[in-house]
Amino acid sequence: MKQFNYDLLENRKKDLIQDNSGPGRVYHSPDGTFPSITNLLFEMVSKKGIQAWEDKIGKDEAQKIKTKTSRRGTRIHGYLEKYMAGDENYLENAPPDHMELVNLAIPQINEKIDNIRGIELGMWSDGLKIAGTSDLIADYEGELAVIDWKTATYIKKEEYIFSYILQGTAYCRMLYEMYGLLPKKVVICSLIRFDSMKYNPMMDEDIYIDWRVFNPLDYIRRLKSVCDAFHFSRRG
């Protein structure tokens, strides 16, 4: 197990009070009440595509798939969170298929990531009026990055992970506002177990780790326009 270097930022997650009582998750912060960046991007970027998919396969089948993928994503995210924190029992009680996927990712994580600054770092942006919790702030191949863990059943086109890129860019903005740090990269790491119903002749593996790297400066204007549109739509 790798011994990571840690230079942890003060985690102000305790200053964020999550509120799910309304139509969308919000956070109460010292600077005001802000929508969850995840919820905001779902409403403004992902919702139409997901609704079209649900209409295509049926609501009941879609719900089964979403429940299964959400459960798998939460558990694998938990294993990785424990590993990055130095917990030697990070795979405790993991089913074999989860263990296999995480074990494929670990050597790549060890090679690419170090100098951890924050794990599950709660942040907000007074400028963009948003809040959320980042998976990992650390160096990726020697440069400060916002790193997000995802699970999937296929390699997604960039247009299908656009909301992930904007989410990572949002955390970069929050990090800059709160700590004066400007990450050079947004990294989306997807742990993929291919769907047997979606055979890909280009891939021999059943499992695969997909790393995507983006420059947050290329997306900050688009993020601001999406946030502005969301806030405008919510004005009474």
Give the pLDDT confidence of 27-73 residue by residue, as tens digits: 999 999 999 999 999 999 987 777 777 877 888 887 887 788 889 99
Q: Supply the pLDDT for residue 161.
A: 96
Rounded mean pLDDT, 95-110: 97
Give the global pTM.
0.93
Whether 142 is in a domain gets the answer yes
Q: What phi and psi, each to the nearest 5 degrees, are found at residue 203?
A: -120, 125
Residue 180 is given by DSSP the state -
Query: Are 180 and 138 within 8 A, CB to CB?
Result: no
Whether 64 is in a domain gets the answer yes
For residue 236, pLDDT over 80 is answered with no
Residue 94 is given by DSSP the state -
Q: What is the pLDDT of residues 127-184, one digit of tens each?
A: 999 999 999 999 999 999 999 999 999 999 999 999 999 999 999 999 999 999 999 9
Q: Which of 75, 66, 68, 67 is nearest to 95 (CA)?
A: 75
Would you state the structure tokens that stand for residue 165, as one six-digit string? 């890129």
Whether 52 is in a domain gets the answer yes
Query: In terms of residue numbers, what domain contains 137?
Result: 13-233
Q: What is the pLDDT of residues 1-13, one digit of tens each?
A: 999 999 999 999 9
For residue 17, pLDDT over 70 is answered with yes
Whether 6 is in a domain gets the answer no
Q: Supply the pLDDT for residue 53.
A: 74
When pLDDT is cut at 50, 70 and 90, the band that residue 22 belongs to is confident
Number of structural domains the chain divides into: 1
Poorest-confidence range of 18-22, 66-70, 117-121? Answer: 66-70
Whether 1 is in a domain gets the answer no
155 contact partners, CB below 8 Å, separation of at least 6: 190, 192, 200, 203, 208, 210
Whether 149 is in a domain gets the answer yes
Q: How confident is the prediction for the chain on average, in pLDDT?
A: 93
Whether 136 is in a domain gets the answer yes
Whether 190 is in a domain gets the answer yes
When pLDDT is cut at 50, 70 and 90, the band that residue 198 belongs to is low
In the block, tokens 């960046």 appear at: 37
* 197: CATH: 3.90.320
